[in-house]
Chains A and B, each alone.
Chain A
Amino acid sequence: MALAGTTAFWTTAAFADWHRALAAEPATPAAPRYFTAEEWRFLDAACEQLFPEDETGPGARTLGIVTFIDQQMDTPYGRGGLWFMSGPFEQGPANLGYQLPYAPREIYRLGIAGADRYCRDHYGHAFADLDHASQIAVLTAFEKQPILLGGTIPSGTFFEQVRTNTMEGAFSDPIHGGNRHLGGWVMLGFPGARADFMDWVDHYGPAYPLGSVSISGETV
């Protein structure tokens, strides 16, 4: 796809060709490192609603976002190693920040189980089996209403965890498993690891001409 190298790359129908080519090539399903099949099914559906395939650009499925989140669960971050996790754990006003004893991987395990239970209780099916409108309604409720999932995780906490990691999966370097074939960066117009604009800093107005490149050297 020799589309890079022109300002038009970021702006015209040439980008749409790239987008179609990316969507046509199915993501290779990675063997889950952490999530169960049922958890994967939930995330596959939920992330696609948060970051849908549309005319703006690729969605969560095309970008491999669940693969990204799954791999993150197997890092110090996923295990809570970047957070202060010493007790006691007391709850307080929201503006004083996260105060639960759960690492990200536990937020997902408890949150997904609680979310699917909520969907079965209110809609008769697991989240992944709901229609589009019901999935949107459920995610909106999780985001905005004080629902306690599985008696442990406030739905807002769970929603923000999934939302944050979804956007990370769309826009982090492909070496981390998401942003497959740089699809998130191309959509945004971010050239990635080029990181040298000495000769472009005072070009005022046009789009930067060169396409995205990964730390791995992968480019478009």
Chain B
Amino acid sequence: MNTINADAVVVGAGWAGSILAKELTEAGLKVVMLERGPDRATAVEGAYPESIDELRGAVRHRLFQDLSRTTVTIRNKIDQTALPYRQLAAFLPGEGVGGAGLHWSGVHFRAAPDDLALRSNVIARYGSKFIPEGMNLQDYGVTYEDLEPFFDKAEKVFGTSGEAYRVNGKIVGNGNMFSPSRSDHFPLPALKDVYTASLFRKAATDAGYHPYSLPAANASRQYTNPYGAQMGPCNFCGYCSGYDCYMYSKASPNVNILPVLRKDPNFTLITRAHVMRVDLDSTKTRATGVTYFDLDSNKEVAITADLIVLGAFQFHNVHLMLLSGIGKPYDAKKNEGVVGRNFVYQTITTSRAWLPENHFTNQFIGTGGGGVAIDDFNSLNFDHGPHGFVGGSPVWVNQAGVKPIAASTIGGGKDAPRWGAGYKKALVETYRHALAIDAHGSNMAYRDVFLDLDPTWKNTYGQPLLRMTFNWHDNDIRMNRYVVSKIEPIMKELGATKYQLGMLEPGQTFDTRLYQTTHLGGGAVMGDDPNTSAINRYLQSWDVPNVFVIGSNAFPQGMGYNPTGMVAALAYWSAHHIRTTYLKAPGPLVPV
């Protein structure tokens, strides 16, 4: 077996991995970053016009995980046999350099401060009996104040467009009145509203809500970030989600970090390198390196390193921990163990309004992170007392550019014909004159929702697949239905000829065949208690302290907001403490 030596190994070339690799090379370390997919450069496969082919892109999944090699199994309940997720549908992990950070939309939130200590806040307001039986509600172990400098840094690296509400305690603009104070403005002004977003802004105001421009890592102007990486101004082409932004306007590791990192002599990127496991010494408390399968030579390669960063997608990080024996696997029956615990998702439903025929909504125009939202029913921004559920949901028009094959799956909305002449007529009316309003909500953690290793199915490398046990729970269904009911006043203000509210149904079962969101979270969560978290507040493994695990796997609950802004801030937060403390005296940053 070949052996390579490095100071640090970073697994995964998405946002988390690229941020850590940048920070660690700045600290003078020799860093090897491993990516199982191909290299990807915007100037090559992201170029116009070939890159904006919907069939190859969003439909045949050009930038997404190659399921033919490895996937997950899924079941709804613990007494069921989980079956392989054979076709990409419900969620779409990325693959290749840039990871999900290349095909994402660009919605770039800071976390809501109340969400970071949700358990403590719910108990303080409503008492511990308010938390439903079987819900593993937890705090992150970090505060908004801890993370603020790193939210700010991430926005400057990403070139984020938006309008602030409060900077250094002073109200400065017409931003989100529920958002916390910031140390600085957004680096770029908010994007223009597309037509449907402008209609939503007015209707939401008239309904008594508080609309704001979505923070978007889609550049509203030409921008050069602190690394010297350049972005072009977004032209609303509509090819963000599922694509690689031929305009260099959507932030990605490929555009915003890697052009600089690739030139650093301390940095080595190895692609088509599928990491099989983190190698531990005989004490199982220290990692010695990683072993990967080289897809070109079909051989295993070992890398020795003092520091290991897992920066793969959420569930791949959990999978690697389970395969490597890092941390105690979760046992759902006993509610003990931490790796696989608190696996979470989000609740996302779409409502739709149809405008009169002389109003064209031009739904193909858009940008992935742009739009107008309200936070009146997100986080703890409203009184949960009368409703008896935990969680919340922003509501928005986020017209990311509706392409025709995607439109064909929506057709004429609920109850419209699915084929034939009636289908065509309703499809065309809907595409030309409708607009979509999403409730993009939280999903709490439950004892009986978790990740572990599948007993039956294996990937192409002979390793057990990761098994997901996931179903919707009553708390989150009731939250979604409550928030969606609050969309109705907006519908009435819009001047719609008709509208349909989309919501989860009581008792609804999770369906793997329908796209919902790729915002998976948890499974190796951060926290202050090693009995309920796999990593400490610096995202360092409690059990193997030279392993850091960066990603949405750290989230104890699925938040109402999109996860990437929080992932990036946690990556910079963790990197800061590695650089300022860990590297000087390697060991646990929090005593066990």
Q: Which residues of A contact B (CB under 8 A)?
A: 10, 49-52, 54, 56-57, 75, 77, 80-86, 88, 90, 92-99, 136, 139, 143, 163, 166-168, 170-173, 175-176, 184-185, 187-191, 193, 195-198, 200-208, 215
Are A195 and B420 in contact, with the CB atoms below 8 A? no
Are B408 and A171 in contact, with the CB atoms below 8 A? yes
Q: How far is the CA of A195 from the CA of B405 in the complex (A)?
A: 16
Q: Does B407 contact A (CB under 8 A)?
A: yes
Are B84 and A99 in contact, with the CB atoms below 8 A? yes
Are B458 and A86 in contact, with the CB atoms below 8 A? yes
Binds A, one of B51-59, B155-163, B282-290, B303-311: B51-59
**Can you list 6 pairs linking A and B with CB atoms under 8 Å apart?**
A75-B60, A81-B68, A86-B460, A167-B405, A208-B362, A208-B365
Q: A189-B431, A196-B237 are in contact. List 6 more A-B contacts (CB 8 A).
A: A49-B420, A52-B420, A81-B68, A85-B86, A173-B53, A208-B365
Q: How far is the CA of A173 from the CA of B54 in the complex (A)?
A: 8
Are A54 and B421 in contact, with the CB atoms below 8 A? yes
Are A95 and B513 in contact, with the CB atoms below 8 A? yes
Q: Does B293 contact A (CB under 8 A)?
A: no
What is the chain A residue whose CB lies nearest that of B407?
A188
Q: Does B213 contact A (CB under 8 A)?
A: no
Q: Is the interface of B mostly helix, strand, loop or mixed?
A: loop
Are A84 and B85 in contact, with the CB atoms below 8 A? yes
If A88-B456, A189-B432 touch, whether A51 touches B49 (CB-CB below 8 Å) is no
B509 CB contact (under 8 Å) in A95, A198, A204: A95
Are A197 and B236 in contact, with the CB atoms below 8 A? yes
Are A56 and B420 in contact, with the CB atoms below 8 A? no
Complex interface: chain B residues within 8 A of A98 (CB): 86-87, 513
Are B512 and A57 in contact, with the CB atoms below 8 A? no
Within 8 A of A (CB), among B409-452: 409, 418-421, 424-425, 427-428, 431-432
If A83-B86, A99-B83, A168-B55 touch, whether A215 touches B360 (CB-CB below 8 Å) is no
B53 CB contact (under 8 Å) in A136, A204, A208, A215: A215
Are B195 and A82 in contact, with the CB atoms below 8 A? no
Pairs A-B, 4 closest by C-beta atoms = A171-B404, A167-B408, A195-B237, A172-B55
Are A82 and B68 in contact, with the CB atoms below 8 A? yes
Q: How far is the CA of A101 from the CA of B83 in the complex (A)?
A: 13
If A56-B424, A202-B192 touch, whether A190 touches B55 (CB-CB below 8 Å) is no
Complex interface: chain A residues within 8 A of B405 (CB): 167-168, 171-172
Are B76 and A95 in contact, with the CB atoms below 8 A? yes
Are A97 and B68 in contact, with the CB atoms below 8 A? no
What is the chain B residue whose CB lies nearest that of A91?
B83
B425 CB contact (under 8 Å) in A56, A77, A96, A173: A56
Q: How far is the CA of A143 from the CA of B71 in the complex (A)?
A: 29
Complex interface: chain B residues within 8 A of A10 (CB): 360, 432
Complex interface: chain B residues within 8 A of A188 (CB): 404, 407, 427-428, 431-432
Complex interface: chain A residues within 8 A of B496 (CB): none
Q: Does B457 contact A (CB under 8 A)?
A: yes
Complex interface: chain A residues within 8 A of B419 (CB): 49-51, 139, 163, 166
- Contact mask for chain B residues 496-522; partner A; CB cutoff 8 A; 1 contact, 0 none: 000000000000011111000000000
Are B360 and A207 in contact, with the CB atoms below 8 A? yes
Q: Does B128 contact A (CB under 8 A)?
A: no
Q: How far is the CB of B74 from chain A (nearest CB, A)?
A: 6
Of B54, B60, B419, which is in contact with the most chain A CB atoms at under 10 Å from its CB? B419
Complex interface: chain A residues within 8 A of B512 (CB): 95-97
Are A189 and B428 in contact, with the CB atoms below 8 A? yes
Complex interface: chain A residues within 8 A of B66 (CB): 82
Complex interface: chain B residues within 8 A of A191 (CB): 364
Q: How far is the CA of A172 from the CA of B52 in the complex (A)?
A: 11
Complex interface: chain A residues within 8 A of B425 (CB): 56
Are B365 and A201 in contact, with the CB atoms below 8 A? yes
Q: How far is the CA of A170 from the CA of B236 in the complex (A)?
A: 24
If A88-B456, A172-B59 touch, whether A215 touches B52 (CB-CB below 8 Å) is yes
Q: How far is the CA of A10 from the CA of B431 in the complex (A)?
A: 12
Q: How far is the CA of A163 from the CA of B198 in the complex (A)?
A: 35
Q: How far is the CB of B53 from chain A (nearest CB, A)?
A: 6
Complex interface: chain A residues within 8 A of B54 (CB): 171-173
Complex interface: chain B residues within 8 A of A173 (CB): 53-55
Q: How far is the CA of A92 from the CA of B81 in the complex (A)?
A: 8
Q: How far is the CA of A58 from the CA of B13 in the complex (A)?
A: 45
Are B193 and A197 in contact, with the CB atoms below 8 A? no
Q: How far is the CB of A32 from chain B (nearest CB, A)?
A: 20
Are A195 and B409 in contact, with the CB atoms below 8 A? no
Q: How far is the CB of A149 from chain B (nearest CB, A)?
A: 18
Are B424 and A51 in contact, with the CB atoms below 8 A? yes
Are B52 and A176 in contact, with the CB atoms below 8 A? no
Q: Does B358 contact A (CB under 8 A)?
A: yes
Complex interface: chain A residues within 8 A of B237 (CB): 195-197
Are B83 and A96 in contact, with the CB atoms below 8 A? yes
Within 8 A of A (CB), among B523-550: none
Q: How far is the CA of A52 from the CA of B48 in the complex (A)?
A: 33
Q: How far is the CB of B57 from chain A (nearest CB, A)?
A: 10
Q: How far is the CA of A150 from the CA of B511 in the complex (A)?
A: 27
Q: How far is the CA of A191 from the CA of B237 in the complex (A)?
A: 11
Are B421 and A202 in contact, with the CB atoms below 8 A? no
Complex interface: chain B residues within 8 A of A50 (CB): 419-420
What is the chain B residue whose CB lies nearest that of A194?
B237
If A200-B365, A201-B365 touch, whether A97 touches B67 (CB-CB below 8 Å) is no
- Contact mask for chain B residues 388-414; partner A; CB cutoff 8 A; 1 contact, 0 none: 000000000000000111011100000
Q: How far is the CB of B409 from chain A (nearest CB, A)?
A: 7
Of B48, B55, B235, B246, which is in contact with the most chain A CB atoms at under 10 Å from its CB? B55
Q: Does B206 contact A (CB under 8 A)?
A: no
Q: Does B253 contact A (CB under 8 A)?
A: no
Q: How far is the CB of A86 from chain B (nearest CB, A)?
A: 7
Q: How far is the CB of B223 from chain A (nearest CB, A)?
A: 16
Q: How far is the CA of A188 from the CA of B426 in the complex (A)?
A: 11
Q: Does B108 contact A (CB under 8 A)?
A: no
Q: How far is the CA of A57 from the CA of B85 in the complex (A)?
A: 37
Q: Does B359 contact A (CB under 8 A)?
A: yes
Complex interface: chain A residues within 8 A of B458 (CB): 86
Are B49 and A95 in contact, with the CB atoms below 8 A? no
Are A196 and B50 in contact, with the CB atoms below 8 A? no
Q: How far is the CA of A62 from the CA of B80 in the complex (A)?
A: 47
Q: How far is the CA of A189 from the CA of B430 in the complex (A)?
A: 11
Complex interface: chain A residues within 8 A of B360 (CB): 10, 189, 205-208
Complex interface: chain A residues within 8 A of B49 (CB): 193, 195, 215
